Amino acid sequence: MVAIPGPLRLRAKGLGLIVAIALSLQPSALLGEARRVISIIPATTEMLFAMGAGDRVIAIGNYDTYPPEAQKLPKVGALIDPNVEQILQMRPDLVVIYGTQTELKRRLDRANIAYYSYVHKGLSDIAQTIRSLGMRVGADAGANALASRIEQQLADIRRRVASQPRPKTLLVFGREPGSLRNIDASGGDGFLHDMLDAAGGADVLGDIHRQSVTMSTEMVLARAPDVIIELRYSKDDVNNADMSAWNRLSAVPAVKNRRVILLTGEEFVVPGPRVAAATRRLAAALHPEVRW
Amino acid sequence: MTLAAFGTVTLLACLLAPLVGSTSISLARVFDRSIPFADNTDAQVFFVARLPRVLAAALVGAGFSLSGVVFQALLRNPLAAPDTLGVSAGASLGAMLVLTAHADFTLFGVSVVPLATFAGALGALAIVFVLALAKGRGTSSTVLLLAGIAISALLSAAGRFIQYLSDVTGTFRTVQWLMGSLDVGSYAPILASLVPFGLACIGFATLPRILDLISLGEDAAEARGVDVVRAERVALVSASLSTGAAVSLGGPVLFVGIIVPHIVRRLVGADHRLVLPASALFGAALLIVCDLIARTIIAPVEMPVGIITAIIGGPFFLWLLFRGR
């Protein structure tokens, strides 16, 4: 931590106060806590249910498959195709959307419906979003507890792997089925990279500051990862012939030492409250020597 | 003589391209028999990553160029190409169907994506072919070209609909596929596409004199004793097979099929006995070079080869359209 000189600290405090006042002046905040919430992003839907505000959610997004109790709710579109008409018709007092949904924001503004919008750049943003979303819907206590629990679990994983060697890891989240074409892997930025870092792996593409990198076979050979972890949403996406495609690159240490690992589960692609569990699975795959 | 020059350029491209890449390898290590291949990274970079890629580029470049030559001669239209006849749209639809359905199985070591692509390309051309047959003798080339554009629009719309219904991953994979990639990573897809490509070449071998005559006009060709309908069928089937082979191996690598025949005709004249083989050789060399640029220009990451060919092809196409006006 950098020590902040006294006057600056005061000014920062003052700024915080102004921001807090400005936030409290938002029309929806004046109306009190949100009672009819629509969340169309999987991560925030999971957050709302996990913080105990699930009973206020009246509709969710098309790709929101967790938790099970959310599944009885109507689905009103998603990131690129929100069903605005249906959303307006349901008369929500808060719509939780992603920062890039500018068209939706404009239409909600016009309809005078409040929204909560956020952007995730990395792992640490998740707990922060949980806290601020909790504050926004009036579920502060549940949200704070949830966020602290996630932070503690992540800190615990970091502590357990701290003394272990960090294997050079390639984290793959997509490729053309049955071949090694268009391999998409996590680069040195973003949520997957941070998870890998917390799980005690050294990202083999850490020097490339992008969230995703499309790799050629030459690049896989050149980077020579010790471990290749392939992530898939569901078990239906996998068969053995598909995984054996990696065997062509036998000079890669991960292939030679049979450390090409398949992990399935949508928690790896949803930056929500299940992130600590996902990181733990990643850590267990990277460090089987540690007792988990 | 001229063909020998084209052959030399292509051979040089084939030999030199595998030596260059985003990583540096030692040739001595590549051919060092004392290191087992399974442990020899340099040899695997050379034989698994680069060589199949160069061969795929050669085959895709030759395939698109040959069909471009044949389509242009047959339709007597400088804009006729696999793209404008709906083949790319058909191939893309095939690829989209399996990519969005997450159908990840392999047949004889070849992933289902190229197979579906091949089927899509042939399907689109089959529609054009049936239309040509229905018109009978002397199919108007403008009608065929317009039919191609209509089919293209129809298939693209179907593709967009599938994409709209699919999830984000399916859409993302499709977009990637549409950009074209020659990083095949093994020899199996190359061998698989050699079958339709070989058949196409047998068909092409019968065509040069007939194409020369058809270029002058179908009536003129008929007067010289050419069975125009039969020749059209052979030409369309061969060009379809060759396009299908190319697009299933490398994706819709735009413009190669349009620009190469034009460049080659400027260099060697209009005699199809020269234009056909020279286009195959030049197309192969051009795509090898484009892919070399694609895999080194922003190393360590790569540029999709379709972008490079379009950057080169786009301005050329404009020049073609506006020259002499």
Torsion angle defined by CA atoms of residues B257, B260, B261 and B267, in that order, rounded to the nearest 10 degrees: 180
pLDDT computed for residue A164 by the predictor: 94
pLDDT in tens, A98-111: 999 999 999 999 99
Q: What is the pLDDT of residue A237?
A: 62
Q: Which range marks the domain in which residue B71 is found?
A: 3-323
Is the pLDDT at A134 greater than 50? The verdict is yes
- Please tell me chain B's helix, strand, coil percentages from 3-state DSSP, rounded to the nearest 5: 75, 0, 25
Contacts of B204 (CB under 8 A, 6+ apart): B66, B70, B238, B242, B276
Asked whether residue B315 carries a pLDDT value surpassing 60, the answer given is: yes
Which residue in chain A is spatially nearest to B24 when comparing CA positions? A222
Residues B207-219 as b or e (16 or more Cβ within 10 Å = b): bbebbbbbbeebe
Residue scoring higher pLDDT (A14 or A67): A67
- Are the C-beta atoms of residues B45 and A218 closer than 8 Å to each other? yes
Q: What is the mean pLDDT of residues B143-155?
A: 85
Q: What is the pLDDT of residues B184-215, one digit of tens each?
A: 888 988 998 999 999 999 999 998 888 888 88
> What pLDDT score was predicted for residue A51?
95
Q: Determine which of A3-7, A267-271, B154-158, B220-224 has the lowest per-residue pLDDT on average.
A: A3-7
- pLDDT (0 to 100) of residue B7: 94
Contact yes or no for B234/B289 (Cβ under 8 A): no
Tokens of B45: 């970079």
User: Which residue in the set A63, A221, A224 is minimally distant from B49, CB to CB?
Assistant: A221
The mean pLDDT value for A171-190 works out to 89
B132 or B222: which leads in pLDDT: B222
% of chain A at pLDDT higher than 90? 67
Contact A48, A54 (CB under 8 A): yes
DSSP category for residue A263: E
Taking the C-alpha atoms of residue B189 and residue A84, their distance in angstroms, rounded to an integer, is 45
The per-residue pLDDT for A4 is 44
A20 phi and psi, to 5 degrees? -60, -40
Percent with pLDDT over 70 in chain B: 93
Residue B140 is predicted with a pLDDT of: 67
Query: What pLDDT score does B225 carry?
Result: 80
From first CA to last CA, the distance across chain A in angstroms is 31
Of A181, A208, A236, nearest to B185 by CB-CB distance is A181
Q: Which of A197, A196, A200, A170 is nearest to A185 (CA)?
A: A170
Split at pLDDT 50, 70, 90, the class of B108 is: low
> Does B137 score more than 90 pLDDT?
no
Please report how many Cα atoms fall inside a 13 Å half-sphere around the Cα of residue B79, on the Cβ side: 14
Over residues A38-53, mean pLDDT: 94
Rounded mean pLDDT, B45-68: 95
Worst-scoring range by mean pLDDT, A193-197, B30-34, B76-80, B260-264?
A: B76-80
Whether residue A1 has pLDDT greater than 50: no
- Res. A239: pLDDT tops 60: yes
Q: What is the ipTM of this complex?
A: 0.84
Q: Give the tens place of pLDDT for each residue, A5-31.
A: 444 444 444 555 454 444 444 444 444
pLDDT over 50 (residue B132): yes
Chain A, 41 to 70: residues with Cβ < 8 Å from chain B are: 63
CATH number, position B316: 1.10.3470.10
What is the C-alpha to C-alpha distance for residues A13 and A16, in angstroms, rounded to an integer?
5
Q: Is 60 exceeded by the pLDDT of residue A276?
A: yes
Most confident of A47-51, A62-66, B118-122: A47-51
Chain centroid to Cα A204, Å, comes to: 21
Q: Would you list which residues of chain B are within 8 Å, Cβ to Cβ, of chain A?
A: 21-23, 37-41, 43-45, 48-50, 98-99, 102-106, 110-113, 164, 167-169, 172-173, 176-177, 181, 183-186, 189, 295, 300-302
CATH topology of domain A29-153: Rossmann fold (3.40.50)
Residue A155 has pLDDT above 60, yes or no: yes
How many alpha carbons fall within 13 Å on the CB side of residue B151?
A: 30
Counting Cα atoms < 13 Å in the Cβ hemisphere of B315 gives: 4
User: Is A221 in contact with B21 (Cβ distance < 8 A)?
Assistant: no
Q: Which of A250, A253, A181 is nearest to B47 (CA)?
A: A250
Residues 244-263 of A with CB under 8 A from B: 245, 248-252, 256
Rg of chain A over Cα atoms, rounded to whole angstroms, equals 21
List the beta bridge partners of residue A118. Answer: A98
Q: Where are the domains of chain A?
A: 29-153, 164-286
- Same fold: A29-153 with A164-286: yes
Q: Which of A69-73, A118-122, A133-137, B222-226 has the lowest mean pLDDT?
A: B222-226
What topology does CATH give the domain A164-286? Rossmann fold (3.40.50)
User: Does the beta carbon of A174 lie under 8 angstroms from any beta carbon of chain B?
Assistant: yes
More reliable by pLDDT, A72 or B147: A72
- How far is the alpha carbon of A250 from chain B, nearest alpha carbon, in Å? 5
Inform me whether the pLDDT recorded for A232 exceeds 90. Answer: no
The Cα A232–Cα A214 span in angstroms is 16
Range of weakest confidence among A24-28, A62-66, B242-246: A24-28
pTM of the model: 0.83
Question: What's the mean pLDDT when you consider all of chain A?
Answer: 87
- Tell me what pLDDT residue A6 has: 45
Number of domains in chain B: 1
Average pLDDT over chain B, rounded to whole?
86
pLDDT band (50, 70, 90) for residue A238? low
The residue-averaged pLDDT of B122-145 equals 74
**pLDDT value at A240 more than 70:** no
